[in-house]
Amino acid sequence: MSSLRALWVPLFLMLALAIACSLGRSKGPSGNSAATGNSSSHAKAFTPSNDARKDLREALERLNTAYPYRLTEDSSGNATGQEISGGKRVVEFAAADRSHAKWTNGPLGDTEVITIGDKQYSKLNNGNWIVGSPAGLAQRQGMEKRMREMMASAVKDVKYIGTDTINGLPCHEYTYTMDMDVSGQKWAGTGKAWIGSTDGLPHQLDSEMTVSSYKQKSHITYEYNVDFKVEKPVM
């Protein structure tokens, strides 16, 4: 159980980096719309600047206008030579305050969370749906804000390394390092990010983090203009 709890921390931090400002400054409409190609209206050709860290930050901030999109993460860990599966996490964002997340084989087993406005519905291991209170949601969002601030200061030494292709799409590739303290423990790691040359959006994030004898890997991909709906579950 301790290994599973250890795995939860870096995965949540990687989530904070991956969604950056998607739950941050601006709040989009919480309408019940399916994907309608919204991100294409915000697509903008991207050319790297002389400030690699600024490029990465702005690419993540563009997620604020990229709805609807889907994030998929595969993760794993290694503690004292023992492999630990972090499972697969899929999050569909219809708007800043409307999302549906499924995490299979995660630290707590299989979990599912639907967020609609100030309501959060969660289910653990095929159990019953539980409705979260607005106060609980506000507390969670406050924690996410602190995590985003931590991630912003943790990302160091961002470098542009050239062009690449991700899922047939032309991208610009960046590397970065990370250095942070979490609950008195020092986490250090490296990562790569691929930003689309035609839309300026993140298309893939890979990272490796280490603390003491524990190592964690994360592979995140993004899909845009996908077709889905985020609705209240049947209770």
Query: 109 Cβ partners below 8 Å, 6+ apart?
Result: 124, 125
Helix (H, G, I), strand (E, B) or coil at 207: strand
Closest CA to 18 of 101, 84, 78, 104: 101
List residues bridging with 198 in a β-sheet: none
For the record, the structure tokens of 172 come out as 């610009």
Give the Cα separation of 182 and 168 in Å (integer): 37
CA geometry: angle 215, 220, 223, nearest 5 deg:
175
* Residue with token string 């084989």: 105
For the record, the structure tokens of 213 come out as 């004898």
Give the Cα separation of 181 and 191 in Å (integer): 17
| Longest pairwise C-alpha distance within the chain | 52
Q: What is the pLDDT along the chain (235 residues), one digit of tens a residue?
A: 344 444 444 444 444 444 443 333 334 444 444 433 344 445 689 999 999 999 998 998 888 889 999 999 998 888 877 887 788 999 999 998 899 999 998 777 899 999 999 888 999 998 999 997 655 555 655 655 666 667 667 888 999 999 999 999 999 999 999 888 777 778 899 999 999 999 999 999 999 988 888 888 999 999 999 999 999 999 8
Give the Cα separation of 178 and 219 in Å (integer): 16
Q: Give the fold, CATH level 3, of 2-224.
A: outer membrane lipoprotein receptor (LolB), chain A (2.50.20)
Domains of the chain, residue spans: 2-224
Give the Cα separation of 225 and 67 in Å (integer): 8
What letter represents residue 215's amino acid? K
CB 10 within 8 Å of CB 209: yes
pTM for the model stands at 0.79
